[in-house]
């Protein structure tokens, strides 16, 4: 049961050759393996924009003054809002929001400019369609910023003196992703998702196919040996995984301008235990599934918590505790910390060693369990 | 041709009291072999000797333990009890050694549909350790003798049953195995292809390969030099086709077979 001896024995290489010939010939799997990374990258990189921009805004300006126009402009200048039209009365505002033409409405009462001129606090109303909490949250905070900015400008004008610094000035500096683009957060995660996908779905169905066709039985009666058999079956997918990772990194760099702050060799090295752990899951699935369809279903069942609970799309700190526990038993959760850490923060072994240890633990545990089960099922 | 003790003379009815001989240089020697799946006993107290260079048929109705026996002899199943020595090696203690000297072909063929004929042969030849010129020469030889030369670049998945069967035989014999195990190799193959297949089998036997074959077809049973009948996991008769028919007092092997099947069904 020594993998290195198996690599040196002759039986491993024909297995490798056969796998690559089959891979080249299986157009569907080949397409899946090359198109999925590109497709996922475009899909998640472009479509999933958690940063909210261009919320459609309608304005009901009953004040019709220079002051009210300045307030509306201040909102538009935040870039979060995009003015889509004017409303003549409250009923029209309601109608526009209900119909979906607008998500937010600014209502400026008739006495707005008069109260400002008299030095009184002026009120205006911002109505937000809060059905989508993410969009409305962004709209709310942007509107508050705009109102503060207007308030400060009015105060300065009133005092007719030099600008007075505010008593407290909390300056926010978004590190690692200063423009706060979601692509920078998502794209490194795409690599983790793709590797999980390849190592579980494609690997498990490739093994189950050998069992279905009777070729696995045929191989067992040859002198190939179980270790060579498994390595020959699994190593090609490690190669595929690294190729996919490289493709996503390249596209991410070229299309989404993803920073690569850490050392790439470190990243490729740290990825290895994650790949081995995911292969273990794939091998485990292949020992449970009776058909290729079952292997697919089981793998998808495994993919779902990976997508939702690993921190790939949604921050884990915001999840209820049980969801966090489930996330904590997924190798992807730790790999995401590794890949984001290396790419976005330029981290290395010195900081990421706890994640590395956990991933190695996952890899060792899953390989031991799945290899034992696999050996049993081919008896 | 060397022969084991029970091969000559009167019909050798297996006597559980008689000590089974493990002497001589039989290709396969089985003593007290037993396999149990949970509560079900698939094979019980099997003693068997297959002489070298013979075509030896393993016969019996479905569920009689033929396939289980062959799988134990190939190292695909671990026996629950007893010993089996294949090509001079113990199947439990030295499975690797056994695998190097045997070929195995099941009714599922074990071919890669998405590899070509030549690629299938190449893969199995390499798995059996053939390299370089030796491998190339052997593949060419097999493509010629099996008549597969014109189809060398055809995908195995697009071959008809008969051609698949020939290719599977080629894959199982690329390393010149001492013993060839065939588990219902002609299931679902047309009569012409079956005849060609059996001609190949007999040629292999003439060249010194021992062939152990399970079959349902009685004409195929008649082509074997010796037969062993299994019934409900027990060996109930062994000998040449003539001896077996005489032993059971039936005119043909087919009658023996039907008689046994009725007996099994009555016992259930």
Q: Tell whether B108 is within 8 A of chain A (Cβ).
A: yes
B267 exposure class (CB count in 10 Å sphere: 0-12, 13-18, 19+): exposed
Would the pTM count as exceeding 0.80? no
pLDDT tens per residue, range A121-176: 888 888 888 887 777 787 888 888 888 888 888 877 777 766 666 667 677 777 77
Which residue reads 């002899």 in tokens? B73
Q: Tell whether B124 is within 8 A of chain A (Cβ).
A: yes
∠ CA B183-B185-B190, nearest 5°, is: 155
Residues of B in contact with A6 (CB under 8 A): none
Contact state of A22 with B100 under an 8 Å Cβ cutoff: no
| A–B interface: beta-carbon pairs under 8 A | 71
Q: Tell whether A20 is within 8 A of chain B (Cβ).
A: no
Q: Tell whether B123 is within 8 A of chain A (Cβ).
A: yes
CA nearest neighbour of A189 among A41, A325, A303, A47? A41
pLDDT at B268: 67
What is the percent of chain B where pLDDT is above 70? 91
Contact state of A223 with B123 under an 8 Å Cβ cutoff: no
Q: How far apart are CA A101 and CA A368, in angstroms?
A: 57
H/E run at residue B104:
strand B102-105
Residues of B in contact with A221 (CB under 8 A): 74-76, 99, 102, 104
Q: How far is A56 from chain B (nearest CA, A)?
A: 55
DSSP B7: G
Q: Tell whether B127 is within 8 A of chain A (Cβ).
A: yes
Q: Give ipTM to 2 decimals.
A: 0.85
Residue A342 has pLDDT above 90, yes or no: yes
pLDDT tens per residue, range B97-122: 999 999 999 988 899 999 999 999 99
- CATH of the domain spanning A55-175, picked from 3.40.1710.10, 3.40.720.10, 3.30.930.10, 3.40.190.10: 3.40.1710.10
Q: Tell whether A24 is within 8 A of chain B (Cβ).
A: no
| Residue spans per domain, chain A | 55-175, 182-377
Residue B46 backbone phi and psi in degrees, to 5 = -85, 120
Reading across the β-sheet that carries B210-214, which strands appear in turn?
Answer: B102-105, B179-183, B210-214, B55-59, B226-231, B234-239
Contact state of B112 with A220 under an 8 Å Cβ cutoff: no
Cβ-nearest to B119 among A11, A21, A217: A21
Give the model's confidence band at A51: pLDDT under 50 very low, under 70 low, under 90 confident, else very high.
Answer: low
Mean pLDDT of B246-251: 88
Q: Tell whether B157 is within 8 A of chain A (Cβ).
A: no
Question: How much is the mean pLDDT over chain A?
Answer: 86
Among the listed ranges A196-200, A225-229, B191-195, B240-244, which one has the minimum average pLDDT value? A225-229
pLDDT at A192: 93
Q: How far apart are CA A286 and CA A199, in angstroms?
A: 11
pLDDT at B256: 86
pLDDT at B6: 42
User: A27-42 and A226-256 are packed helices; what angle lies between their axes, rounded to 10 degrees?
Assistant: 40
Residues of B in contact with A11 (CB under 8 A): 127, 129
Cβ-nearest to B126 among A14, A22, A219: A14
Q: How far is B136 from chain A (nearest CA, A)?
A: 14
The sign of the CA dihedral A276, A279, A283, A288 is positive
Cβ-nearest to B99 among A13, A15, A223: A223
pLDDT at A330: 95
Q: How far apart are CA A30 and CA A317, in angstroms?
A: 37
The neighbour count for residue A217, using CB atoms within 10 Å, is 18
Contact state of A213 with B112 under an 8 Å Cβ cutoff: yes
Mean pLDDT of A218-229: 86
Residue A50 has pLDDT above 70, yes or no: no
Among the listed ranges A93-97, A176-180, B46-50, which one has the minimum average pLDDT value? A176-180
Residue A107 backbone phi and psi in degrees, to 5 = -115, 120
- Residues contacting B133, CB < 8 A, separation 6+: none
Q: Tell whether B242 is within 8 A of chain A (Cβ).
A: no
Mean pLDDT of A58-67: 90
Residues of B in contact with A1 (CB under 8 A): none
Residue A338 backbone phi and psi in degrees, to 5 = -65, -50
pLDDT at A48: 64
Q: How far is A365 from chain B (nearest CA, A)?
A: 27
Long-range contacts (CB closer than 8 Å, 24 or more residues apart) made by B38-41: B41/B233
């Amino acid at each position: 049961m020594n993998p290195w001896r198996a690599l040196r024995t002759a039986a491993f290489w024909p297995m490798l050759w056969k796998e690559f010939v089959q891979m080249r010939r299986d157009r569907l799997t080949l397409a899946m393996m090359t198109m999925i990374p590109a497709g996922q990258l475009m899909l998640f990189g472009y479509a999933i924009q958690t940063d909210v921009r261009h919320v459609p805004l309608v304005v009901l300006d009953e004040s019709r003054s220079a002051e009210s126009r300045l307030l509306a402009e201040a909102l538009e200048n935040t870039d979060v809002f995009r003015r889509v039209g004017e409303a003549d009365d409250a009923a029209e505002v309601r109608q526009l929001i209900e119909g979906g033409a607008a998500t937010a409405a600014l209502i400026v009462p008739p006495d707005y400019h008069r109260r400002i001129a008299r030095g009184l606090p002026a009120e205006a109303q911002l109505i937000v369609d809060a059905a989508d909490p993410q969009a409305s949250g962004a709209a709310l905070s942007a509107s508050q910023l705009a109102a503060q900015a207007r308030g400060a400008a009015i105060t300065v004008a009133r005092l007719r003196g030099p600008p007075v610094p505010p008593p407290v000035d909390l300056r926010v500096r978004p590190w690692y992703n200063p423009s706060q683009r979601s692509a920078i957060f998502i794209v490194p995660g795409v690599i983790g998702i793709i590797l999980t996908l390849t190592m579980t779905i494609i690997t498990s169905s490739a093994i189950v196919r050998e069992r279905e066709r009777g070729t696995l039985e045929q191989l067992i009666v040859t002198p190939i040996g179980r270790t060579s058999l498994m390595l020959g079956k699994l190593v090609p997918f490690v190669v595929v995984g690294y190729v996919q990772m490289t493709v996503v990194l390249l596209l991410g760099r070229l299309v989404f301008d993803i920073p690569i702050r850490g050392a790439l060799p470190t990243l490729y090295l740290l990825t290895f235990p994650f790949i081995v752990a995911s292969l273990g899951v794939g091998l485990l699935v292949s020992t449970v599934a009776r058909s290729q369809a079952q292997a697919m279903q089981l793998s998808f069942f495994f993919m779902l918590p990976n997508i939702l609970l690993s921190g790939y799309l949604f921050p884990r700190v915001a999840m209820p505790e049980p969801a966090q526990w489930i996330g904590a038993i997924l190798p992807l959760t730790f790999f995401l910390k590794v890949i984001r850490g290396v790419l976005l923060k330029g981290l290395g072994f010195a900081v990421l060693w706890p994640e590395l240890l956990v991933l190695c633990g996952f890899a060792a545990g899953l390989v031991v369990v799945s290899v034992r089960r696999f050996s049993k099922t081919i008896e | 041709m060397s022969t084991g003790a029970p091969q000559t003379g009167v019909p050798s009815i297996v006597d559980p009291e008689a000590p089974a001989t493990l002497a001589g240089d039989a290709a396969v020697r089985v003593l007290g072999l037993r396999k149990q799946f949970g509560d079900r006993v698939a094979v019980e107290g099997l003693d068997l000797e297959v002489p070298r260079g013979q075509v030896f048929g393993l016969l019996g109705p479905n569920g009689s333990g033929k396939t289980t026996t062959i799988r134990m002899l190939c190292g695909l199943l671990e026996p629950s009890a007893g010993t089996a020595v294949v090509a001079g090696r113990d199947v439990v203690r030295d499975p690797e050694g056994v695998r190097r000297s045997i070929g195995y072909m099941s009714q599922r063929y074990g071919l890669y549909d998405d590899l070509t004929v030549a690629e299938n042969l190449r893969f199995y030849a390499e798995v059996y350790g053939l390299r370089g010129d030796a491998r190339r020469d052997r593949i060419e030889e097999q493509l010629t003798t099996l008549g597969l030369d014109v189809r060398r670049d055809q995908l195995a998945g697009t071959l008809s049953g008969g051609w698949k069967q020939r290719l599977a035989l080629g894959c199982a014999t690329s390393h010149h195995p001492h013993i060839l195990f065939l588990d219902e190799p002609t299931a679902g193959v047309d009569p012409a292809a079956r005849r060609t297949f059996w001609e190949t089998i007999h040629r292999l036997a003439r060249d010194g390969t021992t062939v152990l074959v399970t079959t349902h077809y009685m004409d195929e049973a008649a082509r074997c030099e010796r037969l062993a009948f299994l019934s409900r996991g027990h060996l109930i008769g062994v000998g040449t086709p003539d001896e077996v028919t005489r032993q059971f007092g039936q005119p043909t092997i087919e009658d023996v077979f039907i008689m046994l099947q009725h007996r099994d069904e009555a016992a259930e």
